[in-house]
Amino acid sequence: MKRLFLILFFLWGISASAQSVFKRTLKLMGSRFDISVVAENQQQADGYIDIAVEEITRIEKLISSWDANSQTSMINANAGIQPVIVDRELFNLIKRAVGLSKLTQGAFDISYASMDKIWKFDGSMEMMPTEEEIKQSVSKVGYQHIDLNENAGSVFLDTKGMKIGFGAIGKGYAADQAKERLKALGVQAGIINASGDMNTWGRQPNGELWNIAITNPLNKDNVFAMLPVDNQAIVTSGNYEKFVKFNGVRYAHIIDPRTGYPSTGIISVSVMAAKAELADALATSVFVMGKEVGLDFINQLNGVECIIIDEQGNINYSNLIKPKQ
């Protein structure tokens, strides 16, 4: 009897400490966020998710270019006028972005926000912009004109009318920070999905790695690969819905900040890296670089992998990716 009691008590202990995945979907930073955490019950999960939302909201206020009172808006308003002293967190984010611009030779550039919006992807364009219009549209773009003063903690855009924006890395950075905040609180596992910018940690309650499904945009119901991810970020960007077509060429909404011309040849890029911020920036860069150059570039980076789907629906993998079919 005593032995039976001990066995029952042991089984009850396992059941009482059993954990499940709890998920909440909401709109943050103007986009859909799916926040999943492994917790013992709904009340505990709600507390964790509330903290993640608090962190994402804080970051949005820091990097927003829509809020006239944000430090980012102050930097833009003082372009060509004077440096602006900012919080160290924002300074370091801009510093990393400039570093990524150098790494990608300008395929990624946070000063893309200076571009004139001459391309329309809402069906209203009837003819291509002229070469001169395209050239002028990027005349104020250039990460080389972002002056960072490490000692003062200031940022100066040296050209009047120049702007920075975090559309290409902001959600990824928010996903990273929300993950770190929850890990610091002892949350053992979860996924922050910021509209395709995903960061994972820990494992599922059954002990298995998280598996991320990759679909072909030309056939969204068909999952062609399941990627097991171990404390990694994976970002998927697509341009299969926003594009224009002139003279038989399909121009997508991701624009090369160096030339002003939209990207061509690729419809989807998925990048795996240690952080969503990095994966986010690299996914944009690969679109701009094109399939061949993009794959070669990714294959030279340690700890980074990618999947590229071209306009013909062909699936291209970087060297070390091993999808679970």
CA dihedral 254, 259, 264, 266 (to 10 degrees): -50
Q: Angle at Cα 271 formed by Cα 268 and Cα 277, nearest 5°? A: 115
* Half-sphere exposure at residue 318, Cβ-oriented, CA atoms within 13 angstroms: 24
Amino acid at 43: Q
pLDDT confidence tier of residue 17, bands split at 50, 70 and 90: low
DSSP state of 160: T
Largest CA distance in the chain: 89
Each residue's pLDDT tens digit, 108-130:
999 999 998 898 888 888 889 99
Please tell me the distance from the alpha carbon of residue 110 to that of residue 218, in angstroms, as a whole number. Answer: 30
Please tell me the distance from the alpha carbon of residue 50 to that of residue 24, in angstroms, as a whole number. Answer: 10
Each residue's pLDDT tens digit, 135-153:
999 999 999 999 999 999 9
pLDDT above 90: residue 297: yes
pLDDT above 70: residue 6: no
Q: Of 325 and 59, which is predicted with more confidence?
A: 59
pLDDT of res. 14: 37
DSSP state of 128: P
Each residue's pLDDT tens digit, 24-49:
999 999 999 999 999 999 999 999 99
The answer to whether 197 and 175 are in contact (CB under 8 A) is yes
Cα Rg, the chain, nearest whole Å: 22
Each residue's pLDDT tens digit, 94-104:
999 999 999 99
Q: In the chain, pLDDT over 70 holds for what percent of residues?
A: 92
pLDDT of res. 321: 79
User: What domains appear along the chain, each with residue ranges and CATH number?
Assistant: 20-63+169-317 (3.10.520.10), 71-157 (1.10.3980.10)
Q: Which residues pair with residue 146 across a beta bridge?
A: 157
Q: What is the pLDDT of the chain when averaged over all its residues?
A: 89
Q: Of 60 and 323, which is predicted with more confidence?
A: 60
Report DSSP letters for 8-60, one per residue. Answer: HHHHHHHHHT--EEEEEEEEETTEEEEEEEEESSHHHHHHHHHHHHHHHHHHH
Please tell me the distance from the alpha carbon of residue 29 to that of residue 304, in angstroms, as a whole number. Answer: 26
Residue 221: its H or E element: strand 219-229
Please tell me the distance from the alpha carbon of residue 46 to that of residue 40, in angstroms, as a whole number. Answer: 11
Span 2-19, average pLDDT:
42
The answer to whether 234 and 227 are in contact (CB under 8 A) is yes
